[in-house]
Amino acid sequence: MAAEGELTSNEYIQHHLQNMVFGKLPASYERADGQVLQESAWTLAHSPQEAKDMGFWSVNVDTLGWSIFLGCLFCFVFHRVAKRVSEGAPSGFANFVEMMVEVVDKNVSDIFHGKSNVIAPLALTIFVWVILMNIMDIVPVDWLPILAQTLSGDPHLYFKVVPTTDPNITFGLSIGVFVLIIFYSIKMKGIGGFIGELTLHPFNSKNIFVQILFIPFNFILEGISLIAKPVSLALRLFGNLYAAELIFLLIAMLGYYQFPFHFVWAVFHILVIPLQAFVFMMLTIVYLSMAHDTH
């Protein structure tokens, strides 16, 4: 990166792990460069402390930008292939796309026992989108940040390019799945059935008074189990990709000696990229299948 020679190893890693944050700083705020704001202003953070002080309503511009771009890329490519598909045997990239669709469709058919026109497209979207976001980890860690610094003229610009190393993205995906779990649970079982699922299991009794005593314990156990689903989805994906990115940064600090190590770790990481996307997709299908169970 442009300012790499001026940074210590710790500063180099921290710089690469910091997002490009856009948010509002209050009036009289002293910025990292010593400038004091005369009035409140929306601006890019110049330090991790500024990003923290911007609070909840700040936006990680790089994460949001890359995730939207990759999502649009997925929609464009798959729509283009779908328009050109013919009744004959597909070839080239169309064959690869059809193979991915068949893999997802087969897993949905095997695991999901309800009836829904949403689950298969949702699973395919999650699978491909997460793969695309994960695969950004293969790009050498300095290439795109240096390009962003050069184009912006700011040698200290923060620019993360792997959306899944940002918990905002992984939790955004998992919370979206969580909302669907709640929606389908209520739709299939009704409000009473959903509440009963949270309060009458796993401990049950034919004696109504004993059952009433069990309700608080059941609610705590089932509530924790329900909340654990989006948390585990988000943290599993974030933790694996964040650790992989950190290893790439440590390798990059070797200078010219990094290339053989980078190649070896990248080859290994190619196995992790689709695996994490597949796990996220499969758990999504399983959770939504459980939400559709009415027994």
Query: What pLDDT digit, counting tens, does each position of 238-273 carry?
Result: 999 999 999 999 999 887 888 888 889 999 999 999
Domain count, the chain: 1
73 domain-assigned = yes
Q: Please write down the HEC assignment for all residues of the chain.
A: CCCHHHCCHHHHHHHHHCCCEEEEECCCCECCCCCECCCCEEEECCCHHHHHHCCCCCEEHHHHHHHHHHHHHHHHHHHHHHHHCCCCCCCCHHHHHHHHHHHHHHHHHHHCCCCCCCHHHHHHHHHHHHHHHHHHHHCCCCHHHHHHHHHHCCCCCCCCCCHHHCHHHHHHHHHHHHHHHHHHHHHHHHHHHHHHHHHCCCCCCCCHHHHHHHHHHHHHHHHHHHHHHHHHHHHHHHHHHHHHHHHHHHHHCCHHHHHHHHHHHHHHHHHHHHHHHHHHHHHHHHHHHHHHCCC
79 domain-assigned = yes
Q: What is the mean pLDDT of residues 24-51?
A: 93
- Does residue 232 have an active-site annotation? yes
81 domain-assigned = yes
- Does residue 58 have an active-site annotation? no
User: Tell me: the pLDDT tens digits for 165-194?
Assistant: 999 999 999 999 999 999 999 999 999 999
pLDDT at 6 over 70: no
14 domain-assigned = no
86 domain-assigned = yes
91 domain-assigned = yes
241 domain-assigned = yes
Lowest mean pLDDT across 55-64, 132-141, 201-210: 201-210
pLDDT classification of 113: cutoffs 50, 70, 90: confident
Domain that holds residue 114: 63-292
Q: Exactly one of 47, 116, 168, 236 is catalytic; name it.
A: 236
- Does residue 107 have an active-site annotation? no
126 domain-assigned = yes
pLDDT at 206 over 50: yes
